[in-house]
Structure 1
Amino acid sequence: MTNGSAPSESIEPSAQDGSRAMRLASRLISFLPTKKQLADTDWVKRTYGGRSYPAAAAIPWTFKQKHTIQETTIDGVRTITVRPVLGATRSHIIYTHGGIYINELGRPHWWIIAELTRRTGAAVTVPLYRLAPESTYREAFGYLVSVYREVLRTAAPGDVTLMGDSAGGGLAIAQPWAFREAGLPAPGRIVAFSPWLDVTGTNPQIPKYDAVDPMLSVAGGVQAGLWWAAGDDPRTPLISPACAPATLLETVPTTRIYQGTRDICMADAAVFRDRAVAAGANVTMRVYPGGFHVFPAFPRLPESKEVYADIAEFLGRPALP
């Protein structure tokens, strides 16, 4: 793992690094059609432009055995809160799922959430924000402000952690700016897995990561980002936090980013980390050589176990085996 303070230029992509399990998982992922599909903007437009709106993955029955589950409607949007039956703590996580703003919460997201509750004892609220192209970032942030306001009815701001992966990681990092605008206190901390922090895809470092990324391509993401922006400048901070001015970056709560080097999101995560630290924010990025996009979705990987142990410590919970 690379030290969290390492400069972005020292972090190089590699298909050979990482544990044997990580390399095998990357190899298996490379056989999926996802990367080829996302490289084709026309495919993305055809597939998502006239679709039927997708449903979120069902909560696994094994998950239901160990958690209480509360479903509510906030601003007309389904919102789920899960709590571990045993070992609950004061921590409350708001988890925004990834999917380049066009895909619903999937089964691997439940694997992440299950590991988070096991490791931290936290309650987890899962906002099923409306997706692009049917909806935009404007509606999403209005809804997320309402979700946070509801969480604060039972949790102190300092006990709240915003978490997310990929696009949801970008949402986690940007939400405090929307909360501040709404007059709400900042949450205690942020955790982001492979956050997508600049939807323009213009970072000149991206191609070298794209060459070894087994999952993602730039073109489809840029199209999804344009849908999400809905005509606004895609460099708007709520859309692309890496582009935020220093006056916003200095207000970022204590943040921990977990990032792999076989991931096109690595380039902009490094830019965000460097700019936020320069502005005075406490942002640490743990870099895992050979890690693919959102690798903690596979909790049994050695690197993932290290990530969850670090998160437990970050949230003040003793390590579990």
Structure 2
Amino acid sequence: MTSGHPAGTDTVEPSAQDGSRAMRLASRLIGFLPTKKNLNGTDWVNAKYPSRTYPSMAAIPWTFRQTHTIQEKRIDGVRTITVRPLLGATRSHIIYTHGGIYINEFGRPHWWIIAELTKRTGAAVTVPLYRLAPESTYREAFPYLVSVYRDVLVTANPEDVTLMGDSAGGALAIAQPWAFRDAGLPAPGRVVAFSPWLDVTGTNPEIPKYDAVDPMLSVPGGVQAGLWWSDGDDPRTPLVSPACAPADLLATVPVTRIYQGTRDVCMADATVFRDRAVAAGADVTLKVYPGGFHVFPAFPRLPESRDVYTDIAAFLGRPALP
């Protein structure tokens, strides 16, 4: 790392100069895309999403089909996909909930993440294509996710199940065990979250300093999406904003790893969640990557991403690749 901050340390201040040369270049390229600079305010979400045609997920890459078995089924009427590597399969089973501020579909970079996860861990990966806002809400998503978990438990032991996700999907990964407990199901073995979006209200006073160096995200648009997702309920409810959960719930969080970059507005609430969960007695580790942008592990060739996937493989009990 060029800044002197080691990868995966505790909280550090955001800086555009931190991170590997590859990370800095990727951040600069993202800054040129029509993302954050064209997404100020909420006009763009209000104009695009309420009247849209419901989106489809990114197609499964043909190369992926050469190296994995693909199983599709309907669970509670919702398309659900499970992929398994043809070589090097293990007992691990990952349930991966995708990000997209609850309003965007499963995209091509999510396949890049899943391909790297199966290569590194040998795990089967189930992808629940939960219904998006504004067409649907968290009230419909969690019963479906409970059904998905129940289906996975038919062939997997709970201790072999890892809940994973990025951004909004990272929040779903962290919150799902609370819904599982209410449904009388055993807790999964562990949770992994990439840049989780843990408080949809966007009120953390630390957010502006990360927003100043974040090349990607727009806070007002995310807040509007969070309001659609909570659909009139308090957006600070734990299933929507896990960072706001009471201590008794936080104490039940399974062993958790969060991978977070400092050029990401989600960093502020990831720190709050970690601090509150640890204070409540949970085993939550926040690994911070200086200069990392939102969900940077979607680009597996970055040096920081390679470090993340090596750590995940060890976390799931799989030796590192040579």
TM-score (norm 1): 0.97
Give the match for residue 295 of structure 2.
294
Q: CA deviation at 1:40?
A: 2.5
Question: Match for 1:28: what amino acid?
Answer: L
Provide the C-alpha distance between the structure 2 equivalents of 1:61 and 1:264, rounded to a whole number of angstroms. Answer: 34
Q: Paired residue for 2:179?
A: 178
* Cα distance, 1:38 vs structure 2: 3.2
More divergent stretch after superposition (91-100 vs 32-41): 32-41
Length, aligned pairs only: 318
1:165 alignment partner AA = D
* Mapped pair 1:191 → 2:187: no
Stretches of 4+ aligned residues off by more than 3 angstroms: 1-6
Is residue 26 of structure 2 the alignment partner of residue 30 of structure 1?
no
Secondary structure of the residue that 1:273 maps to in structure 2? helix
Partner AA of 2:99 in structure 1: G
Does the aligned pair in 2 maintain the 1:112–1:297 contact within 8 Å? yes
Worse-superposed segment, 37-46 or 146-155: 37-46
Q: What pairs up with 1:48-197 in 2 under 5 angstroms?
A: 48-197=49-198
Q: SS in structure 2 opposite 1:49? A: coil
After superposition, the C-alpha distances for 1:268-318 in whole angstroms (9 at most, x for unaligned) are: 000000000000000001100000000000000000000000000000000
Are 1:255 and 2:256 an aligned pair? yes
Residues in 2 aligned to 1:3 and 1:305: alpha-carbon distance in whole angstroms = 11
Partner secondary structure for residue 176 of structure 1: helix
Contact 1:38-1:221 at 8 Å conserved across structures: no
SS in 1 for 2:49: helix
Contact 2:9/2:288 (<8 A) preserved: no
Hey, what's the Cα distance between the residues in 2 that align with 1:37 and 1:73?
A: 37
Structure 2's unaligned 5+ residue stretches are none
Deviations along 1:105-140, one digit per CA (max 9) or x if unpaired, are: 000000000000000000000000000000000100
Report the AA paired with residue 84 of structure 2: R
> Structure 1 residue 3: deviation in Å?
8.1
2:271 matched to which residue of 1? Answer: 270
Contact 1:57–1:106 (8 Å) recurs in 2:
yes
What is the rounded CA distance, in whole Å, between the counterparts of 1:236 and 1:177 in structure 2?
Answer: 12
Q: In structure 1, what is the equivalent of residue 225 of structure 2?
A: 224
Sequence identity (%): 84
Is the contact between residue 7 and residue 304 of structure 2 (CA under 8 Å) also seen in structure 1? no
| C-alpha RMSD of the superposition | 1.1
- Amino acid aligned to 2:198: L
Q: For residues 64 and 211 of structure 1, what CA distance do their matches in structure 2 show?
A: 41
Residues 231-286 of structure 1 show CA distances to partners (whole Å, capped at 9, x for unaligned) of 00000000000000000000000000000000000000000000000000000011
Give distance in 1, aligned partners of 2:37 and 2:25: 20
Contact (CA 8 Å) 1:2, 1:286: kept in 2 or not?
no
TM-superposed CA distance for 1:49, in Å, is 1.3
Secondary structure of the 2:13 match is coil
Kindly state the Cα deviation for residue 5 of structure 1 after the two structures are TM-superposed. 7.7
Q: 2-side partners of 1:229 and 1:28: how far apart?
A: 33
- TM-score, length basis structure 2: 0.97
Deviation of 1:17 (Å): 0.3
Separation in structure 2 between the aligned mates of residue 300 and residue 110 of structure 1, nearest angstrom: 14
Q: How far, CA to CA, are the matches of 1:39 and 1:101 in structure 2?
A: 18
- Matching residue of 1:19: 20
Amino acid at match of 1:88: A
Task: Tell me if the contact between 2:164 and 2:191 (Cα under 8 Å) persists in the aligned partners.
Answer: yes
Indicate conservation of the 8 Å contact 2:7/2:289, yes or no.
Answer: no
1:41-70 CA-partner distances (Å, limit 9, x unpaired): 011100111000000000000111000000
Pair 250,3 (structure 1): closer, same or farther in 2 beyond 3 Å: farther
